[in-house]
Structure 1
Amino acid sequence: MTDVPELVPARMVNEFVYCPRLFYLEWVQSRFEDNADTVHGRYVHRSVDQGGGSMGVSSEDDPVRNARSVLVSSERLGLIAKTDIVEGLDGKVVPVEVKRGRPPKHGPAWEPELLQLAAIGLILRDEGYDCDQGQFYFASSRERTTVEFDDRLMQRVLDVVERLRHVAASDDPPPPLVDSPKCPRCSLVGICLPDETNFHTGRVDKAPRRLTPRDSAARPLYVTEQGARLGVSQRRVEVKVNREVVRSDRLIDVSQINLSGNVQVSTQLLHAAFREDIPVCWFSYGGWFSGIAHGMPSKHVELRRRQVAVAAQAGLPLARQMVVGKIRNSRTLLMRNSREPVEAAVQQLKDLASKAGETDSIESLLGLEGAAARSYFGSFGSMLKDDRLGTFDFDGRNRRPPRDPVNCLLSFLYALLVKDLTAVALSIGFDPYLGVYHRPRFGRPALALDLAEEFRPIIAESVVINAVNNGEVTKSGFVIRAGGVALEQSARRAVIASYERRLDHEITHPTYGYKITYRRVLEVQARVLAACMLGEIPEYVPFTTR
C-alpha cells in the first residue's frame, strides 16, 4: 500500500467519478497528456486563472467580491481546491466552476462535475462561509446552471473521497473501463491503452478500437551541416550557418532535435526544448548515437521500480518474446524480398524462432539469436539489387567501424532506431539503460536495444534494402577512411529522409487489427512492455508482420 497525501484535490474527485483508472494514472502516477479538449479547457480558463478580486470574511463588513482562482482547503475533510470564481451574494458565497462545453439536457451538469463543485462547497462551509449552492458557467452556450448543496449530495462527496483514498493507496491501478464511450475523448487514452489491455487480459474477446492518438504533426529536426548553430527566437528553432539563418521551424512543429558532428546548440534552445518535452540527441560525425538530453524524468517511479525487479529476476520471458519477434520478422523480410532461392535459410529461421520461444536461459537465447543472425545475414545480399560496380556487395555483418557501404547503412539506421526508442523509453518512464536481454554494460541503452530487436528487420533493414535498390544512395555517397566506411553528408540526408518515410508508413497492427504508423507502433510496443512489467497484462506480445 502507498501513502496517500492528506489533501485530495477536488478536481481528482471529478476524475475518479469519471474513471477510477484515469484518476489513478493522473494523480497517483502523475502521468498526463494534452489533447484538444484539455488545451481548449485551459484557453477557456485563461481569464479566471489570472486571479483577482477579494476573498474576505463573508459578512457585511468584509464581503466576498468575486474572487477568482482562489485556493481553499480543509484539513478536517482532507480536501483542497482551486476555485474558478467565488461570488458574494446576500452574505453567502457561491462557487462558480467554468466549463468548456454545454450543460447536459437532464440536469445542471454531469455527475463528475456536480461532485467536484459540491466538494468545493464542503470546503467553503468548513472554512466558515455560508454556502448552500454553487453554479456552473458553460463557455460554449454562455449559460449558467445552479446546483443546490443538499445533505444527500454532500454525503455522496464524502463517500466518493473515502473510496478514492482506498484506490489511491493500492499499488496497482484499477482495470480499464470496458468498451466505454468515455475512452475516445480521454487525453490519457494513449497511455492507458484500455481496449488493448482488456484484450490481453481476456476481459473482452473482440478486436480493440483504434483509440491511440493520431501521430503528431511535429517531426524530428536533423542538422548535419558542420559548424551550424541552433538557437530559439520567438518560439521558432533557427539554424544558422555563418551567422545566416538557413532554416526556421516553429517549436510546436519539432518533435526531436538531432545534431550530427560539430553542431552547436544554445542554452536558450535547450531550456525551450526541455519545457516542451522535446529531446535533443547527438550523433558523432560517423553516425554513432552518442547522447540525449531531455527535461525532468517521468514521475512514473513505480514503473522504474518494477523494471529493476524484472531485470534482476524475471527478464527471460520478455527477452524470449523479443528475440522470437526479431527472428520471425527477419524471416518475413527475407521471404518477401529475396531475389534468389533462400528456402534453407527460411526454414532454419523458423526452427530457431521456435527454439528461442522455449529456451530456459539467457545464454541459450544468445546462442540461438547468434545462429539466426548468421543464417539471416548470410542471405541478406540476396535482397539487394545486383550492382555492376560491386559497391553494395555484402558478405556478412561487421561494425566498429563498418568496412563496406551496406554495413555502414545498417549501423547508421540502427543508431537512428535506438535513438527513437531511447526517447520513447524516457517519455514513458523507463530507465533506457536497464534492459532485460542486453546487459547494462559500457553505457549502452540496453532497454532501447531490447525494444529495437523486433524492429531492426522491418524498419532499419527494410530502409537499407529500399535505399540501395531504389538508387537513393550510390557509390559517391560513401567516404572510405582507414578501412572504415562513413556516409557523405548528402547521402546521410537521403537515408534520414528514407528512414522518416518508413516511420510514417501505415500498416494494420497484427494483434489489434487497426491501422497505425510505425512511428506510433514504437510507442505502443513500449507501453505494452510497461503494462507487462506492471503486471497489468500477462505477457509481452512482440510486433510481427506475419
Structure 2
Amino acid sequence: MADVPELVPARMVNEFVYCPRLFYLEWVQARFEDNADTVHGRYVHRNVDRGGGRMGESSEGDPVRDARSVLVSSERLGLIAKTDIVEGSDGRVVPVEVKRGRPPKHGPAWEPELVQLAAIGLILRENGYDCDHGQFYFASSRERTTVEFDDRLVHRTLDTVDRLREVAAADDPPPPLVDSPKCPRCSLVGICLPDETNFHTGRVDGTPRRLTPRDSAARPLYVGQQGARLGISQRRVEVMVNREVVSSERLIDVSQINLTGNVQVSTQLLHAAFRQDIPVCWFSYGGWFQGMAHGLPSKHVELRRRQVAVAAQAGLPLARQMIVGKIRNSRTLLMRNSREPVDSAVAQLKELAAKAAEVDSVESLLGIEGAAARSYFGSFATMLKDDRLGTFDFGGRNRRPPRDPVNCLLSFLYALLVKDLTAVAFSVGFDPYLGVYHRPRFGRPALALDLAEEFRPIIAESVVVNAVNNGEVAANGFVVRAGGVALEQPARRAVIAAYERRLDHEVTHPTYGYKITYRRVLEVQARMLAASMLGEIPEYVPFMTR
C-alpha cells in the first residue's frame, strides 16, 4: 500500500461505500465527468463553499461560530475532509453536511453519507473536539436529520477505510456492479460502461441496458474564413472578421473548435477551452489535420502504461480485429449501395476478412488489408449515380495530393474522422500517437488511425457516397492546383454538415443491442479498447454493421 496517499478524503469513503469501482475510477485513476446531479450538487453547496465563520483550536474552549468549508485531517486515521459546516454549542462541535434531495424514508441518510459523516466526526475527535453526533441538511426538503456516532457506526467507518486502502493499492479496478440500480444515475457510467464490461466477461446474460449518457448538446465549431479571429467574451465564443463579430456561440454549446487555414485564436479562448476540456484542432487550407491543442493530459497513467506494453508486444490481436471490422464494413457498404452486380468483390472481401482474423504477423495483415482495399475501391464507383459520373469519375485511391474530386472528398473526411478520434483518445486517457497497427511516425496520431479503420466505410465513405449522389457537392465545388484537387469553401461547409449529420445518425449497436449515435459509438469503442488493454474484458470487438 506504499503508493496509496497517506490521507484519504472522506468524500472518497462515501464513493467507496456507494460503489468500489466508482471510487477507484475517480480517486485512483482521477477520472471524472459531470452529470445533472453533480452540477446540481455544486449549486446546492455554493454558499457553504464560500467559507466563513470562525473555528480556532480545540484548546480555546468554544471557538466555533458557524464555520463553513473547514478543512480538517488526521494522520493517525489517514483521513482528510472539507466539512460543509461546523457548529459549536456547549463546548461541543457538530459537523453538518449539506446534501441535495431529501432524506430516505428508512433513516437519517443513506449508508454512504452516514459513513462519510462519521469519518468527519472521527477527524474532529482526533483534533481534540468533543463530537458525538453530526447532522445532514437536505436542500430539497429543507430539513435536518441527526446521526449519533455510536460504536457500531465508528467500527463500520474504520473498517471501510481499511478495505478502501486495499482496493486503492490494487493494480486493477474492482469489477462493475451487476444490474445495479445505482448505475444509471452515476456520473461515470459513460466511462465505466458496467453492463458492456459485464457482458464481455460473462458476468451477465442478455443485452446490456443502455446506460451511456445521452449525447451532449454541444457540437463542433468549424471556422474556415481566412483572416478570421476567435475570441471569448462573456462566456461566448466570438468569430470576428475585420473586427466585426460574424458569429457568436455559447461556450457550453461548443464541443470542439476546428480552424482551417489562416485563422487566429486568442489566448483567453484557449485558456477557457482547456478548462472545459474543449480541444482546438488545426487543419491546413487543403483540409489536412495538422494538430490539436488540449488541456492537461489524462491522469489515467495505468492505461498509457498498458498501451505502451501492448503496442510493443501484443498489438496484433487488436490490429486483427480492427482490420476485420474495416473489411466487413466495406463489404456491407458495397452490398447496400452498389448499383451494379459486385458479387466477385463481395465474395473476395468475405474471404479476406476471414484470412485477416487468422494472420500471425502485422506484415501479413498489411498485405490482406491492401488486397481488400484494391478490391473494394475497384468497385467503389458502382455506388455513385450514373448521372454523377464524369465529374466524379473514380479509378482508384490516390492521395497527397488527391487528383480527383472523389479522392479529395475521401481525404478530407478521413481527416475529420481522425480529428474526432484523436480527441476521443485524449479524453479516454490514451496517447493517440502510439498505435497497435499503424506504426509510430512523427506527427501521426497512430492510435486514432487504428480506431478509424472500422469507421472509414460506415462514416467517411458513406458520407462521400451520399454527398455525391444527393448533389450536396458539385463540379464547381473544387479547385485544381498543380494536378491536385481541393475543396472550395462552400463545398467544404456542405461536406462538414453532411459529416456532422452522419455522426448524429442513430444506429443499433451490433454488440450491445441498444440505439446509439455514431458520435457516441466512437467514444464507446475507444473505451472498450481501453478495457481490453487493461484486461477488464477478454478481447476488443470492432463495431460492425449488419
TM range (shorter): over 0.9
Distance 2:250 2:475 in 1: 36
- State the secondary structure of the residue aligned to 2:70: strand
1:32-63 CA-to-partner distances (Å, cap 9, x unmatched) read 00000000000000000000111124478542
1:54-83 CA-to-partner distances (Å, cap 9, x unmatched) read 112447854211100000000011110000
2:407 matches 1:407: yes
Specify the code of the residue in structure 2 equivalent to 1:332. Answer: T
What is the match of residue 538 of structure 2? Answer: 538
1:116-169 CA-to-partner distances (Å, cap 9, x unmatched) read 000000000011000000000000000000000111110111100000000000
Runs of 4 or more above 3 Å deviation: 57-62
What is the match of residue 98 of structure 2? Answer: 98
2:352 matches 1:339: no
Deviation, structure 1 residue 442: 3.0
2:297 matches 1:290: no
What is the match of residue 387 of structure 2? Answer: 387
The within-5 A match list for 1:382-531 is 382-387=382-387, 390-531=390-531
What is the match of residue 189 of structure 1? Answer: 189
Distance 2:181 2:57 in 1: 44
The within-5 A match list for 1:207-222 is 207-222=207-222
Is the Cα–Cα contact under 8 Å of residues 58 and 92 in structure 1 kept in the other structure? no
1:253-296 CA-to-partner distances (Å, cap 9, x unmatched) read 00000000000111111111101110000000000000100100
1:309-328 CA-to-partner distances (Å, cap 9, x unmatched) read 00000000000000000000
Could you say if the C-alpha distance between residues 2 and 248 of structure 1 is closer, same or farther in structure 2, counting changes exceeding 3 Å?
Answer: farther
The within-5 A match list for 1:15-34 is 15-34=15-34
Distance 1:442 1:235 in 2: 36
Deviation, structure 1 residue 2: 6.4
Is the Cα–Cα contact under 8 Å of residues 435 and 450 in structure 1 kept in the other structure? yes
Deviation, structure 1 residue 195: 0.1
Is the Cα–Cα contact under 8 Å of residues 62 and 90 in structure 2 kept in the other structure? no
2:164 matches 1:164: yes
Distance 1:459 1:59 in 2: 68
Is the Cα–Cα contact under 8 Å of residues 51 and 69 in structure 2 kept in the other structure? yes
Deviation, structure 1 residue 303: 0.4
Distance 1:61 1:109 in 2: 31
Deviation, structure 1 residue 388: 6.1
1:427-479 CA-to-partner distances (Å, cap 9, x unmatched) read 11100000000000132100000000000000000000000000000000000
What is the match of residue 322 of structure 1? Answer: 322
Specify the code of the residue in structure 2 equivalent to 1:116. Answer: Q
The within-5 A match list for 1:131-150 is 131-150=131-150
- State the secondary structure of the residue aligned to 2:386: coil
Specify the code of the residue in structure 2 equivalent to 1:135. Answer: Q
Is the Cα–Cα contact under 8 Å of residues 207 and 513 in structure 1 kept in the other structure? yes
Specify the code of the residue in structure 2 equivalent to 1:352. Answer: L
What is the match of residue 353 of structure 2? Answer: 353
2:374 matches 1:374: yes
Specify the code of the residue in structure 2 equivalent to 1:257. Answer: I
What is the match of residue 49 of structure 2? Answer: 49
Deviation, structure 1 residue 387: 3.2
Is the Cα–Cα contact under 8 Å of residues 62 and 88 in structure 2 kept in the other structure? no
2:80 matches 1:87: no
Deviation, structure 1 residue 205: 1.2
Distance 1:42 1:432 in 2: 33
The within-5 A match list for 1:205-244 is 205-244=205-244
Distance 1:133 1:169 in 2: 31
Distance 1:479 1:152 in 2: 77
Give the TM-score normalised by structure 2: 0.99
Is the Cα–Cα contact under 8 Å of residues 2 and 168 in structure 1 kept in the other structure? no
2:309 matches 1:309: yes
Distance 1:390 1:442 in 2: 38
In the comparison of the two structures, how many residue pairs are matched?
A: 546
Is the Cα–Cα contact under 8 Å of residues 62 and 89 in structure 2 kept in the other structure? no
Is the Cα–Cα contact under 8 Å of residues 58 and 93 in structure 1 kept in the other structure? no
- State the secondary structure of the residue aligned to 2:94: strand
Distance 2:62 2:136 in 1: 25
The within-5 A match list for 1:61-80 is 61-80=61-80
What is the match of residue 272 of structure 1? Answer: 272
Is the Cα–Cα contact under 8 Å of residues 388 and 468 in structure 2 kept in the other structure? no
What is the match of residue 245 of structure 2? Answer: 245
Is the Cα–Cα contact under 8 Å of residues 220 and 256 in structure 2 kept in the other structure? yes
Specify the code of the residue in structure 1 equivalent to 2:512. Answer: Y
Distance 2:62 2:89 in 1: 13
1:306-364 CA-to-partner distances (Å, cap 9, x unmatched) read 00000000000000000000000000000000000000000000000000000000000
Deviation, structure 1 residue 497: 0.2
Distance 1:412 1:91 in 2: 71
Is the Cα–Cα contact under 8 Å of residues 222 and 259 in structure 2 kept in the other structure? yes
Distance 1:115 1:395 in 2: 68
Distance 1:201 1:463 in 2: 35
What is the match of residue 112 of structure 1? Answer: 112
Specify the code of the residue in structure 1 equivalent to 2:451. Answer: L
Distance 2:44 2:501 in 1: 37
Distance 1:144 1:479 in 2: 70
- Which structure 2 residue ranges, 5 or more long, are not aligned? none
Deviation, structure 1 residue 491: 0.1
Specify the code of the residue in structure 2 equivalent to 1:316. Answer: L
- State the secondary structure of the residue aligned to 1:495: helix
Give the TM-score normalised by structure 1: 0.99
Deviation, structure 1 residue 89: 1.4
Distance 1:388 1:522 in 2: 31
Distance 1:188 1:304 in 2: 20
- State the secondary structure of the residue aligned to 2:516: strand
